Amino acid sequence: MRTQVAIIGAGPAGLLLSHLLRRQGIDSVVVEMRSREYCENRIRAGVLEQGTVDTLNEAGLGERMAKDGLLHHGIELLFERRLHRIDMSSLTGGRSITVYGQHEVVRDMIAAAQRHNHALFFEASEVSLHDIESTQPQVRFTHDGTQHTLDCDYIAGCDGFHGISRGTIPADVLRTFERVYPYAWLGILANAPPSADELVYAHHERGFALFSMRSPDVTRLYLQCRPDERLDEWSDDRIWDELLARFENDQGWLPNRGAITQKGVTPMRSFVTEPMQYGRLFLAGDAAHIVPPTGAKGMNLAVADVRVLSKAFASRYLDGSTDLLDAYSSHCLERVWRAEHFSYFMTNMLHPSFDETPFVNRLKLSELKYVSSSHAAASALAENYVGLPFAE
């Protein structure tokens, strides 16, 4: 087989890149090691920045999101038994976020790919990348028992943190930066109508908690826990008791209880690799960087990456210039490090530490008070949360 751009991974980054390229007349093939069912049902957070929503709409992928997504103009910070609203839209000139599950975004993109007869190989095995330093790289894989060699001009590694793409780059070329946090999130889905219209981030002496939602009938909730937490020690009743304790406040709001349909523990880490390109291989999304979930930046960074990469490929194929491709890594890393810092800031501020002195936790509380009372501090939080505008 022959294509212009081989894309490894059918997550949000890889699928969106294929659509953006198609709209510019650039051919691509997507190779994914997991099944379609796995990709469409892998539950991940779905807080979409304004720029992500705009990009999906521009790509013709936003119809169901516009109908089923939940538009939010602010968030609530809960501490010292009081709710403090950050009005993001008024602080950012009308920008907002949309709550729409990552798996729903993936379903929309796979359905669109099928409508356009896009080449998508699910359940590929023995996937390997070759000659990435040459002008004729290859992707080799097995699909339905048949071995394939995919010749291409470029490879986009969109296969996540544990994928093969980053490992194909010589180890002495990459620099990695990592922080592993001393806590994790125990997350649940509950069949209960959300009791608030916006997300609630709670800082409590017992630990952080987050109120979110998946639909008008499903609530998503998280609890700060140990990284080695055992789920079998958390009965449904214990989870609800802990949630209600951490969300306790003087204004009468609490999440609605309901049957818990899913629970899991999410570890928290920050990770960045530099550079995000080597030879004819370009990394995007989780293959190049990981953020803790507190700042809701994971999928949004992936969208930002492939937006830059698609424009770089368009410049290469339509104008004959490789300047944007050469600058891809440095361009993306500016936004990546800003998002890493914001995620670190939100995580550090909202999670009480049980391994440090009371002094440190008082600093966290002071930061919360400042953010909720200062127009300048609230504006900085809002600007980063809704997503910085793209530099076109």
pLDDT of residue 226: 94
Q: Which residue has the tokens 């798996």?
A: 103
pLDDT of residue 195: 96
Provide the sign of the torsion angle of the four alpha carbons 334, 338, 339, 343, taken in this order: positive
Token pair for 58: 């521009």
Token pair for 272: 């960045």
| Domain 5-70+102-177+269-354 top-level CATH class | alpha beta
Q: What is the 3-state secondary structure (H, E, C) of 100-117?
A: CCHHHHHHHHHHHHHHCC
The closest alpha carbon to 23, from 54, 56, 69, belongs to: 56
Q: State the pLDDT confidence band at 322, using cuts at 50, 70 and 90.
A: very high
Q: State the pLDDT confidence band at 41, using cuts at 50, 70 and 90.
A: confident
More confident residue, 152 or 40: 152
CA dihedral of residues 41, 46, 50, 55 (deg, nearest 10):
-10
Mean pLDDT of the chain: 95
Domain assignments of the chain as residue spans, ordered by start: 5-70+102-177+269-354
Could you give the count of Cα atoms lying within 13 Å of 167 in the half-sphere of its Cβ? Answer: 9
Percent of the chain with pLDDT over 90: 94
Q: Does residue 392 register a pLDDT over 70?
A: no
Q: Does residue 224 register a pLDDT over 70?
A: yes
pLDDT of residue 214: 86
Q: What is the pLDDT of residues 341-385, one digit of tens each?
A: 999 999 999 999 887 788 999 999 999 999 999 999 999 999 999
Q: Which residue has the tokens 């796995």?
A: 38
Q: What is the pLDDT of residues 156-174, one digit of tens each?
A: 999 999 999 999 999 999 9
Q: Concatenated DSSP letters for 34-77?
A: S-HHHHHH-----EE-HHHHHHHHHTT--HHHHHH-EEESEEEE
Q: Does residue 52 register a pLDDT over 70?
A: yes
According to DSSP, residue 196 is labeled S
Q: What is the pLDDT of residues 285-312, one digit of tens each?
A: 999 999 999 988 999 999 999 999 999 9
Amino acid, res. 294: T
Q: Does residue 44 register a pLDDT over 80?
A: no
Q: Output the pTM of the full model.
A: 0.94
Q: Are 178 and 203 in contact (CB under 8 A)?
A: no
Average pLDDT over residues 247-262: 96
Catalytic sites, residue numbers: 72, 201, 293, 297, 385
Beta strand pairing call for 119-121 and 28-31:
parallel
For residue 85, give the 3-state DSSP assignment. strand
pLDDT of residue 356: 76
